[in-house]
Amino acid sequence: MKPEKHHEELVSGIHEQLKEIFEKSTQGIYIYLDDTHKACNERFAALLGYKSADEWARAAVSFEQLFAERNSQDRLVSAYQNATENFAASTVEVSWKKKSGGIIDTTVILVPIAYKEHIFALHFVWPRTDR
């Protein structure tokens, strides 16, 4: 099986398995494998100014370009690695670029999950209200 097809099946499978959580959570949620293979819920898409989760998933932009601050990138990558390599959940503050160009400050919880012998990090996101 080509890696591209395998990645697509992994992300769609996780999304389907967690469908109820993606739909009912009061927080934004996303799962990311690579720039092409990612999924989010409607709340996360709306938080960043996208019309739908599908529009966000199809965005032809590298994931790093979604971030506003270099520190946000470093913190998120470090937390992602900690989740996927050390199986440790964590909370980080991340500033995102909205589709319109504005900035939104958020808190992100990353939780390690396993699916079909692959380790991922499930991200729960909500706006920070302390700024």
3-class secondary structure, 128:
coil
**What pTM, to 2 d.p., does this model score?**
0.90
Domain that holds residue 65: 3-127
Q: How many domains does the chain have?
A: 1
Integer angstrom CA distances of residue 2 from 32, 33, 114: 19, 15, 21
CB 61 within 8 A of CB 11: no
Sequence-distant (6+) residues with CB within 8 A of 118 are 10
- The C-alpha atoms of residue 43 and residue 24 are separated, in whole angstroms, by 10
CATH number for the domain harbouring residue 91 = 3.30.450.20
User: pLDDT tens, position by position, for the chain (131 residues)?
Assistant: 565 677 788 889 999 999 999 999 999 999 988 888 899 999 999 999 999 999 999 887 788 777 878 789 899 999 999 999 999 999 999 999 999 888 999 999 999 999 998 999 999 999 998 65
